[in-house]
Amino acid sequence: MTLIIHRCSCGHPDLFHRVDFASGAVEDCTGCLGGTHEFGPPEAIPSWRTDPAHPTAGTVADPNPVEPGTTLQGLPRLCGCQDCRDLYQRLSREVG
């Protein structure tokens, strides 16, 4: 799966932050010591998977994008802003 994230000025993806996307308020950032947090445009980051038929053959990128606003096990809710939805649509057409 490919996750759509916003990269923060601290370098971390928005998944490392507690963010109120409606107001843009950043409550904290795991691993940061403070400072200003500003988010850039959405970007796609791939995740990796093994081929179930060949589990020892190594990993491959999974190009299927995860829909914005989705909550995945172990991760906070993904941003669902219009820019993220637009990128999702473009990526979905490319994979399609």
* Mean pLDDT split into 10-residue runs, the chain, 96 residues: 89 78 65 74 88 80 89 85 95 87
Question: pTM (2 decimals)?
Answer: 0.76
Q: What pLDDT, on a 0 to 100 scale, did the predictor assign at position 22?
A: 66
What is the DSSP secondary-structure string of 3-64? EEEEEETTS-BGGGEEEETTTTEEEEETT--S----EEEEEEEEEEEEETTEEEEEEEEE-P
* CA-wise closest residue to 82 among 96, 68, 93: 68
- What integer pLDDT is reported at residue 65 of this predicted model? 93
Predicted local confidence at residue 43, as pLDDT: 96
Mean pLDDT, the chain, rounded, equals 83
Nearest to 68 by CA among 59, 57, 77: 77
Report pLDDT for 75.
81
Rounded Cα distance, 55 and 82, in Å: 37
Could you read off the pLDDT of 32-55 as tens digits, one per residue? 766 677 889 999 998 888 877 887
Extents of the domains making up the chain: 2-48+63-95
